[in-house]
Amino acid sequence: MVTESRKYYSHGKLLLTGEYLVMFGAKSLAVPVNFGQEMLVETAASSSLLWEARIEDNVWFTAEVSLRGLSVLNTSDEKRSRFLPEVLRAAQKLNPSFLTVKNGYRVTTRLNYPQQWGLGSSSTFIANIAQWAEVDAMQLNSLVSEGSGYDIACTRANSPILYQLKNRTPYWHEVSFIPTFSDHLYFLYLGKKQDTFSCILNFKKDYAFNEQEVAFVSEITMKLLAASTLKEAMELMDLHEDFFSQLLKLEPVKRLFFNDFNGTVKSLGAWGGDFALVASEMNFEEVKKYFDVKGFGPLFRFSEMILNNTSERTAQASRLISENSAQKHRKAL
């Protein structure tokens, strides 16, 4: 049997503004990052799907899935193995011809960053499956996730995006976000991984929609995109942080851990974990020394983390969504 192979890649993500309220229509600034997940699909002389997930060169999850009924035959992790056939069945629902050939497959996925960083191991997984199954990734995501979909949009973006849900339909377009003060913006790993899915469900269950609050967050997003000075950006970050602190009834991360820091620290994603956006007049070495002493890190420069590749549209990200679907989603906000 001649082995055939295909490789797919999707970018990870960070949400800089609009966390939680992005699900309720707030305009939000999201960024694809210079980390992601690749997936190699090879045909195999078997009647099953052999799955191996790696973080860099280390295997962290394996499973064998029957192609008849997509049931798990054996796995290294029962809990994690439930999501794999769920996504495969959803992809098959969107494309009934997916996985109907007689040969089996060997699939190897590889994250090029530590999973606990929270940069989108689930969204890049879903996006890669969508590419393989030749289905709309947003539709696939809606069948298996309660999230807003901004992370799916980031998987194929080549630069930051302005993202918004309108009547549950996602719209986004790429924007220029390389501020003149970007040398004073950093990303700090907090080391406190959160269960984003649970945070989303809990917030959606308890939040009473407020149009003024959504509009307020949208306004901060647009002002941050247009900010021309570091001082202005820091004031907007603090305003955003104070607003969500009151909304979520949680202490801001700076007040909890970095009260004496000469700058601004803004939570990203599910509050209390993963990454924070840091802004300071201090240089990288000074900022890094501060957080090293506090026991936090690693710290990344703006250019090290954010993918800003507006000129090379065919970089690493493969075609995730069909051209018609992409045009539909990318209407001007």
Question: What φ, ψ does residue 283 adopt, rounded to 5°?
Answer: -80, 175
Q: Model pTM?
A: 0.89
Please give the distance of CA 214 from its chain centroid, rounded to a whole number.
21
Closest CA relative to residue 35, chosen from 332, 322, 300, 310: 300
Closest CA relative to residue 3, chosen from 40, 39, 37: 40
Give me the chain's average pLDDT, please: 89
Question: What φ, ψ does residue 209 adopt, rounded to 5°?
Answer: -55, 135
What Rg value do the Cα atoms of the chain yield, rounded? 20
- Return the structure tokens found at 110: 């590889």
Question: Which residues are within 8 A (CB) of 3 and not within 5 positions of it... i.e. 6 or more apart?
Answer: 42, 43, 44
Determine the 3-state secondary structure of 306 from DSSP: strand
What's the pLDDT score for residue 290? 98
Question: Which residues are within 8 A (CB) of 226 and not within 5 positions of it... i.e. 6 or more apart?
Answer: none
How far apart CA 35 and CA 287 sit, in angstroms, is: 22
Looking at the domain that runs over 182-305, which CATH code has it been given? 3.30.70.890
Tell me, what amino acid is at 208?
A
Say whether pLDDT at 47 is over 60.
Answer: yes
The sign of the CA dihedral 331, 150, 70, 106 is positive
Tell me, what amino acid is at 158?
N
Question: What φ, ψ does residue 65 adopt, rounded to 5°?
Answer: -120, 130
For 107-157, write each residue's pLDDT tens digit: 999 999 998 898 999 999 999 999 999 999 999 999 999 889 999 999 999
For 187-241, write each residue's pLDDT tens digit: 999 986 555 666 666 777 778 778 999 999 999 999 999 999 999 999 999 999 9
What's the pLDDT score for residue 59? 96
Closest CA relative to residue 134, chosen from 318, 316, 312, 329: 318
Buried b (16+ CB within 10 A) or exposed e, 170-206: bbbebbebebebbebbbbbbbeebeebeebbeebeee
Question: What φ, ψ does residue 54 adopt, rounded to 5°?
Answer: -120, 145
Determine the 3-state secondary structure of 327 from DSSP: helix
| Residue 126: Cβ within 10 Å count | 28
Tell me the mean pLDDT in the region 61-68.
94
| Residue 146: Cβ within 10 Å count | 11
Residues of the chain with CATH 3.30.230.10: 5-176+311-329
How far apart CA 119 and CA 141 sit, in angstroms, is: 16
Residues of the chain with CATH 3.30.70.890: 182-305
Does a cis peptide bond (omega within 30 degrees of 0) precede residue 114? no
CATH architecture designation of domain 5-176+311-329 = 2-Layer Sandwich (3.30)
Determine the 3-state secondary structure of 59 from DSSP: strand
